[in-house]
Chain A
Amino acid sequence: MPSKTIAQNTVTPIKTNRVIWYGFLSVLVLIGVYGLIMRMEMGLISTNLTSNVPWGAWVAFYIYFVGLSAGAFLLSSLIFVFGMEKYEKIGREALLAAILSMVLAMMFISLDLGRMERFWHSLVYFNPFSVLAYEVRFYGLYVLILIAELYLSMRQDLIKNARKNDLKGKIAKICSLGSTDLSKESEARDHKWLKILGSIGIPIAIFGVHGGTGALFAVVKAQHYWNSAVFPVIFVVSALVSGTALLITFYIIRQKVKGGRVDKAMVQSLAGLMIGFLIVDIGLQFYEYLISAYSLDHQALDTLAILFGGKFSFIAFWLVQTFIGAVVPIFLYLKFKESVNALLTAAIMVVLGIVAVRFNIVVPPLLIPQLAGLSGGYYFPSSVEWMTSVGVIGFGLLLYSLAVSILPVDLSRPIEKMGERSER
């Protein structure tokens, strides 16, 4: 059998690749642990944050990962709520990525808290006028919905896996939560509940989780650059951009690692979505700049000056956000749509580009002093901030790699309607 020989030939490289990959991630996590110890030992003095620039890299990464999560989830809702079966293959992966992104976002924001040990205050005490107070609760609700959805979408495969007696089987047995119903009716019930939960999740993700995170910034009247109603919308759209890009990246890389066939039609369709969202995002961002510029407010104008011509503007805005994050991906999509590798490159570039978008949202307005005569700010993340960020992201990739190798993230069998298009 040809497939068997392929399997035999590829065993060794896959194993070494796996060792290298997990070794690499462990190094990242160890760097992060070192950074975390420094952070715990010294407090926020280990960062380059000041009273002038109170928010920095950790907040930027926090909104970045909330965005990834919301984007991935909304993509999954295309499948589970709107029944777009052509994306079926990435449905569970989208939910998994959404959960893990949320975990990372929460890790980043707890790193950022001055009193980490008091994080529970945000759940116990409630200010009904604070956007952030609602956000915290929305995050909790949202993660619960995501976990329930992921469980329902994998339930039958978990039960099947639980029959095996290896580690994977044992974990599947725990994750299946004692359910053993493999009947068609139970599957239909799962799908019904997926649809219900997804329908509840969509407004929570759009208005609660990510629109709300945008509103967190937009309501701050003191920061003119943030204070516009288009801001929450930009957040949601850029979430869709980064979430779609992340899923394209994960899907293609995983297929390549497994030696599976990449569903080119689906990737092209997803890439089209990504580029479409990206163009809408750029358009809305243009309006955001226009609104700031038209206000003629000196703070807003100074923010734009820093954004377009400040010390780090060449790297943060022109190179990463504009060139890597937008121009090259659009070019690759238009010119090399037939090449999966080109689309993968485009997706990775977008994932990186949105990081710069998030930094450019958080940092530039804070560099402008609130009153003439107050000292202005300067901010570049400190080594501890970089180390912890690298560590948290490495930890996230580690969790993801473990999850995809243990949990039945791939469909065990294609659903009936798309039987012909399924591979192998």
Chain B
Amino acid sequence: MAKENINEKISRRDFFKPNFSGAKAWAAELFAEDETKPKETKWAMLIDLQKCIGCDTCTVSCKAENRTPPGVTYNVVLKEEVGTFPNVTKVNIPRPCMQCDQPACKQVCPVKATYKMKNGIVAIDYNRCIGCRYCMVACPYGARYFDFGENYEQEMLGYNSYQTNEYGVEKRERKKKAPVGIVRKCHFCFHRLQRGEEPACVETCLGDARYIGDLNNPDSIVSKLVHSGRAVRLKEYMATEPRVYYLK
């Protein structure tokens, strides 16, 4: 390179002038929107509250699927009676993790154990979490649970023999190893999504009230319903941009 420049009798000033052409080309490539390339899947969940009958099947199936210990419940159904008799109505709000686009939990984690995956899911690195529980305090939805190491061995023989392969990690015995002593939460059954299956709560919902889908794909049911104008999210004023939508 230098030799060529000398042969071309390049001036010293020109030689030392910074040349950004390579960087520019790289940046252009990086920021270019490739219209032909399909966008990556970005998961979102939609729950139709009109269809929800408050049967708690999602909670139960989630517990069975993820084998969560006592006190750890990735999904709950919040049941509220609104109004005074006789003008009362019962509202059931299933609450998984909201997989926020601006997660408060990710913001506060000192060791980056909680992070946002490209597919929209907020994941926890079980091998990195130190169990400081700052994220639990920061979550506006109370969606995070601390694994105190309890188990159902009394009620359910063999409970300790293996754990669910959450986040695709291999099944292992439940001992005093991670995820004991760290924070856990719903991850849209990421291990099932990887296999091409719906999350357990979506699959088992009796009223067919829950949908999972790709918000980047405008033709998906979730996309269509989210943009129907009926969709709301919990605590939108928190600016967390949840990926779980509700149809009122």
Q: Is the CB of A369 within 8 A of B142?
A: yes
- With known contacts A45-B148, A125-B112, A51–B72 Cβ distance under 8 A: yes
Q: What CA separation (Å) do A372 and B93 show in the bound complex? A: 10
Q: Is the CB of A54 within 8 A of B238?
A: no
- With known contacts A43-B148, A372-B78, A54–B110 Cβ distance under 8 A: no
Residues of A close to B106: CB separation below 8 A: 129
Min Cβ gap B76→A in Å is 7
* Residue A78 lies at the interface, judged by CB distance under 8 Å to chain B: no
Residues of A close to B131: CB separation below 8 A: 44, 113-115, 118
* Residue A82 lies at the interface, judged by CB distance under 8 Å to chain B: no
Residues of A close to B183: CB separation below 8 A: 114
- With known contacts A119-B130, A221-B104, A222-B140, A125–B149 Cβ distance under 8 A: no
| Main DSSP-derived SS at the B contact region | loop
* Residue A55 lies at the interface, judged by CB distance under 8 Å to chain B: yes
Within 8 A of B (CB), among A314-357: none
Closest A-chain residue to B71, C-beta based?
A51
Within 8 A of A (CB), among B118-170: 128-134, 136-142, 144-150
Q: Is the CB of A45 within 8 A of B112?
A: no
- Contact-residue bracket for chain B: 35 or more
Min Cβ gap A59→B in Å is 9
* Residue B8 lies at the interface, judged by CB distance under 8 Å to chain A: no
Q: What CA separation (Å) do A113 and B146 show in the bound complex? A: 11
Q: What CA separation (Å) do A374 and B79 show in the bound complex? A: 9
Q: What CA separation (Å) do A221 and B142 show in the bound complex? A: 13
**Of B20-28, B30-38, B174-182, B223-231, which stretch is located at the interface?**
B174-182
Q: What CA separation (Å) do A88 and B108 show in the bound complex? A: 41
- With known contacts A43-B180, A114-B146, A220–B130 Cβ distance under 8 A: no
Q: What CA separation (Å) do A366 and B136 show in the bound complex? A: 10
Q: What CA separation (Å) do A132 and B108 show in the bound complex? A: 7
Q: What CA separation (Å) do A170 and B1 show in the bound complex? A: 66
* Residue A136 lies at the interface, judged by CB distance under 8 Å to chain B: yes
- With known contacts A51-B144, A374-B76, A222–B139 Cβ distance under 8 A: yes
Q: What CA separation (Å) do A52 and B144 show in the bound complex? A: 9
Q: What CA separation (Å) do A122 and B235 show in the bound complex? A: 31
Residues of A close to B71: CB separation below 8 A: 50-51
Closest B-chain residue to A129, C-beta based?
B107
Residues of A close to B134: CB separation below 8 A: 130, 132, 216
- With known contacts A43-B148, A43-B181, A374-B142, A222–B78 Cβ distance under 8 A: no
Min Cβ gap B145→A in Å is 4
Q: Is the CB of B80 within 8 A of A372?
A: yes
* Residue A49 lies at the interface, judged by CB distance under 8 Å to chain B: yes
Residues of B close to A122: CB separation below 8 A: 110-111, 130, 132
Residues of A close to B137: CB separation below 8 A: 54-55, 220, 222-223, 366
Residues of B close to A119: CB separation below 8 A: 130
Q: What CA separation (Å) do A373 and B5 show in the bound complex? A: 74
List, sorted by A's number, 24 A–B pairs whose CB atoms are closer than 8 Å: A42-B149, A44-B131, A44-B181, A54-B133, A54-B136, A54-B137, A109-B132, A113-B131, A114-B133, A115-B129, A115-B131, A118-B128, A118-B130, A121-B113, A125-B112, A130-B108, A220-B138, A222-B238, A223-B138, A370-B140, A370-B142, A373-B93, A374-B78, A374-B142
Closest 6 CB pairs of A and B: A114-B131, A373-B78, A370-B142, A114-B181, A222-B140, A54-B133
